[in-house]
Amino acid sequence: MCGILGIFDNKRLNEGLLIQMRDTLVHRGPDDSGIWISLDKRIGLAHRRLSIIDLSEAGRQPMSDDEGRIWLTFNGEVYNFAEIREGLIDKGYKFKSHTDTEVIINAYKEWGTECLNKFNGMFAFGIYDDKKKIFFLARDRTGKKPLYYLSDGTGSRFYFASEIKAILEDRRVSKELDLKSLNCFFTYGYIPGEGSIFKGIMKLPPANALVYSIDTGQIKIWSYWDPPNLSDNSASEAELLEELEVLLQDSVKMRMVSDVPLGAFLSGGVDSSLIVAMMSRVADKPVKTFSIGFEDNAFNELPYARIVANHFGTEHHELIVKPDAFNILPELVPQFDEPFADSSMIPTYYVSKATREYVTVALSGDGGDELFGGYRHYLAALLHQRASEYLPSFIRHLAAGADSFLPEKGRALARRQLAKLRLSPNDAFVERSSDPYFGISSRSKLFSGETLDSLSNGLDEPELMLLALLEKRRGDFVNSMTYADMKTYLPDDVLVKVDRASMMVSLEVRAPLLDYRIADFSFGKVCGSLKVKRLTTKYLLKKLAKKILPLELDINRKQGFAIPISKWFRGPLKSDINDIILSGNDHILDRKYIARIIDEHGEGYDHSSRLFALLVFCLWERAYALHG
């Protein structure tokens, strides 16, 4: 991977500042660096390089075309670049390197912004077109690679970068907290959508492109891809299974092109195991695999990973994570630039660190749950839908009222699920998505009066955003839910976690299941009943797993990259964590309510996800000098 940066400053940019901003991204590209500044000193591009394809000097960035009209800074991989390159050569284009970077430049010259439809890969890039006087920015279809931007609103300055920290290095940029984004964070544990935690700094969404006019300061943003609606469900289960196998094998093969050592994350779950199986088919030597586990057997997946590793004869490596792994949090939290409460970022960091000792590129199983219906809350949602269809309203309300008869301690989850029977299936799905963190009622207690006043009537905006995505895909409830998760949880939680944790150790991670052809197949051809069938989640993918993976592997077990934070919060980490959480900014959060949550967790309630969100936020406040 790489780190990219671009600046327009109408007065004159500071070369020293450009370099300083670029080098905040050194972890994304430790192998090389470069800058380019326009003759009028108003435009600057910068790059940090992690060399993967064509390790020679010919791959240095920023890179230009022969005339010096088009300049590019690029992060990621275009996996079908060789095919596009051959087509461009047939059209008369000449190439000085074997990089996908040069392919993007010439593809833009040939097809303009429509070049995006040619690329199969994970990428974020910025092009400066000197003839048109524009920046052209784009991000890959599913959001594997990050891209942030900031316009000062007057047409005087414009920035884009791989990470927020690069933009903030310019002291003229405000660190004002965006309370709408904070509201989202405490709802879902991450910040979905276009905003960021800093007011004015925006995310370019997945599958979106942006053109910024240097002359007028105007910004145009558009989406160039969206997975199709289910339109053809005539194929049999056997035909779909065959097509999926062919697609996945080809996707893995494309992602094994590398001029540096390559391996795979292996949890022993369906997704990562299928990736390793496909890698073993096309590799000419044993695949290097890497797994992580815990001393607590309830969270330890290492035995399952070993079954897969032994079956395919991989060169296997393991690491055990202990409670003192929390010591990495003060270093890990700032890496994300925004508050981020997915605790699996800790094992993701450690498995990335262990993997980087052997390889520079790793393949992962990310995307299988969102594309093929792998989450258990889909089962709860379908049961809710059936209840809404077959039970009269008054019976559902009576059942919902029974939650008050359940004991408080240890039954909070059951109480919440019963209470949801009063809601529509869509509303219940939205509420279920915030269950680990803070729903509307809880946020009204968590936020200080000052924060609530500033949010005004927008406290329910996170829920309304997710509801709108659900309602965009009507007809097939499972596909509606997976679509909503693909647009929010996947790019803004799962892929953020993997990108930041792996980039912290300069490891490139590729996700074959997120090939856009597989996404098109999943949403366009696979009906919801083949994603979640009866009590089986990820049905079609598991059918493929039964065909390919070892029989002794339990593919129906409850899986996940979870860590035992509930026990850790009650055990050796309790005192230190509580001190941090209770020392935060009283202008933003209500400390009395937080103290109550801490007490309840000690009494047996499971508030571990809420406490982790509060811990992360307080550490983030300190890191970005917002504390107090």
Q: Do both 366 and 494 map to the same domain?
A: yes
* Count of CB atoms situated within 10 Å of the CB of 146: 25
Structure confidence at residue 323 (pLDDT): 61
Rounded Cα–Cα distance for residues 600 and 606 (Å):
8
pLDDT for 327:
82
- 146 confidence band (pLDDT: 50, 70, 90): very high
CA angle, 261 then 265 then 267, to 5°: 160
Residue 34 to residues 137, 169, 535, Cα–Cα distance (Å): 19, 18, 53
Element (H, E) at 72: strand 70-78
pLDDT digits (tens, 9 = 90+) for 500-521: 999 999 999 999 999 999 999 9
- State the pLDDT at residue 580: 86
Q: For 163, which DSSP code?
A: S
- Helices of type H across 255-339: 270-282, 302-312, 329-335
The answer to whether position 230 is within a domain reads: no
Q: How far is CA 317 from the centre of its chain?
A: 25
Strand order, beta sheet including 315-321: 315-321, 288-294, 262-265, 361-363, 508-510
pLDDT tops 50 at residue 627: no
Q: Taking 80 as the threshold, does the pLDDT of residue 563 lie above it?
A: no
Do 285 and 351 have their domain in common?
yes
What CATH number does the domain containing 98 carry?
A: 3.60.20.10
Catalytic residue among 2, 115, 184, 618: 2
Contact 62, 19 (CB under 8 A): no
The whole-number pLDDT of residue 561 equals: 57
Q: What is the mean pLDDT of residues 318-327?
A: 76
The two tokens of residue 316 are 């296997």
pLDDT of residue 414: 53
Question: How far apart, in whole angstroms, are the C-alpha atoms of residue 525 and residue 141?
Answer: 19
Count of domains observed in the chain? 3
Give yes or no for residue 413 having a pLDDT over 60. no
> What is the C-alpha to C-alpha distance for residues 73 and 9, in angstroms, rounded to an integer?
18
- Tell me, yes or no, whether 282 lies in a domain: yes
The pLDDT, as a whole number, for residue 404 is 54
Interatomic CA distance for residues 293 and 171, integer angstroms: 42
16 pLDDT above the threshold of 90: yes
Give the model confidence (pLDDT) of 245-280 as tens digits. Answer: 999 999 999 999 887 889 999 999 999 999 999 999
Q: What is the DSSP letter of 115?
A: G
Q: Which amino acid is at 141?
A: R
Has residue 449 been placed in a domain?
A: no
Distance CA 83, CA 64 (A): 21
Q: Does one domain contain both 173 and 293?
A: no
**Has residue 118 been placed in a domain?**
yes
Q: Do 206 and 302 share a domain, yes or no?
A: no
Helix or strand (DSSP H, E) at 262? strand 262-265
Residue 417 scores a pLDDT above 80: no
**Is the domain of 242 the same as that of 219?**
no
Scanning 132-197, the segments in alpha helix (DSSP H) are 164-168, 179-188
| Range with the poorest average pLDDT among 2-16, 113-127, 226-240, 380-394 | 380-394
- For residue 450, is it left (φ>0), alpha (ψ between -120 and 50) or beta? alpha
What pLDDT score was predicted for residue 298? 62
With respect to residue 555, please indicate whether it lies within any of the assigned structural domains. no
Helix H or strand E encompassing 501: helix 495-503
pLDDT at 412 over 60: no
For residue 441, tell me if it sits in a domain: no
What 8-state DSSP symbol labels residue 533? B
Stretch among 42-56, 457-471, 558-572 having the lowest mean pLDDT: 558-572
C-alpha distances (whole Å) from 448 to each of 156, 198, 250 are 36, 19, 52
Residues 121 and 191 reside in one and the same domain: yes
DSSP tag of 27: G
Distances (CA, A) of 628 to 177, 195, 589, 609, 622: 13, 24, 12, 24, 9
Q: At what angle do helices 81-90 and 100-111 cross, to 10 degrees?
A: 50
Q: Which residue from 352, 275, 231, 268 is spatially nearest to 511, judged by alpha carbons?
A: 275
68 assigned to some structural domain: yes
Which of 548, 581, 616 is where one domain is finished? 548
Within a domain: 446 = no
* Interatomic CA distance for residues 271 and 51, integer angstroms: 27
Phi, psi of 452 (to 5 degrees): -60, -40
User: E strand or H helix at 28, and its extent?
Assistant: none
Region 359-382 average pLDDT:
95
pLDDT band at 567 (very low <50, low <70, confident <90, very high): confident
Percentages helix, strand, coil for the chain (3-state, rounded to 5) are: 50, 15, 35
pLDDT at 48: 95
Domain that residue 571 falls in: 564-628
> Torsion over CA of 508, 511, 512 and 513, rounded to 10 degrees?
180
Three-state SS for 325-357 is HHHHHHHHHHHCCCCCCCCCHHHHHHHHHHHHC
Q: Which two tokens stand for residue 393?
A: 């309203």
Q: Across the chain, what does the average pLDDT equal? A: 90
Q: What is the CATH number of the domain that holds 354?
A: 3.40.50.620
Q: Are residues 362 and 261 in the same domain?
A: yes
148 and 297: one domain? no
Helix, strand, or coil here: 266?
coil
Residues 74, 104: contact at Cβ < 8 Å? Answer: yes
618 is catalytic: no
Q: What band does 440 get if pLDDT is binned at 50, 70 and 90?
A: very high
Q: What is the pLDDT of residue 64?
A: 97
Q: Who contacts 626 (Cβ-Cβ below 8 Å, separation ≥6)?
A: 175, 177, 585, 620
pLDDT of 86: 97
Query: Above 90 in pLDDT, residue 285?
Result: yes
Q: For residues 50 and 65, which has the higher predicted lDDT (pLDDT)?
A: 65
Region 560-570: mean pLDDT is 69
- pTM for this predicted structure: 0.94
Does one domain contain both 139 and 200?
Answer: yes
Q: What percentage of residues in the chain have a pLDDT greater than 70?
A: 91
Q: Which residues contact 400 (CB under 8 A, 6 or more apart)?
A: 418, 419, 420, 421, 422
pLDDT of residue 410: 46
Average pLDDT over residues 440-464: 95
Helix or strand or coil: residue 577? helix
348 touches 502 (CB < 8 A): yes
State the DSSP H helix or E strand holding residue 396, giving kind and residue range, or none if neither: helix 393-401
State whether 260 and 196 are in the same domain.
Answer: no
402: confidence class by pLDDT, cuts 50, 70, 90: low
Q: What do you get for the CA distance between the two ends of the chain, in Å?
A: 36
- Other C-beta atoms lying within 10 Å of the C-beta of residue 308: 25
The 3-state DSSP class for residue 263 equals: strand
Among residues 340, 364, 367, the alpha carbon closest in space to that of 352 is found at: 364
**Same domain assignment for residues 535 and 594:** no
Q: Which of 46-60, 160-174, 192-206, 404-418 is least confident? A: 404-418
Name the residue with tokens 């884009």: 160
pLDDT at 619 exceeding the cut of 80: yes
The pLDDT confidence band at residue 559, using thresholds 50, 70 and 90, is: low
Q: Are residue 124 and residue 266 in the same domain, yes or no? A: no
Question: Distance between CA 102 and CA 127 in Å, rounded?
Answer: 12
Task: Tell me the average pLDDT across 483-495.
Answer: 98
Largest alpha-carbon pair distance within the chain?
Answer: 76
The more confident residue out of 351 and 570 is 351
Which of 177, 194, 223 is a domain's end point? 223
Identify whether the C-beta of residue 68 lies closer than 8 Å to the C-beta of residue 59: no
Domain end residue (candidates: 201, 223, 245): 223
Indicate whether 118 pLDDT > 80: yes
Pairing of strands 219-223, 208-213: antiparallel
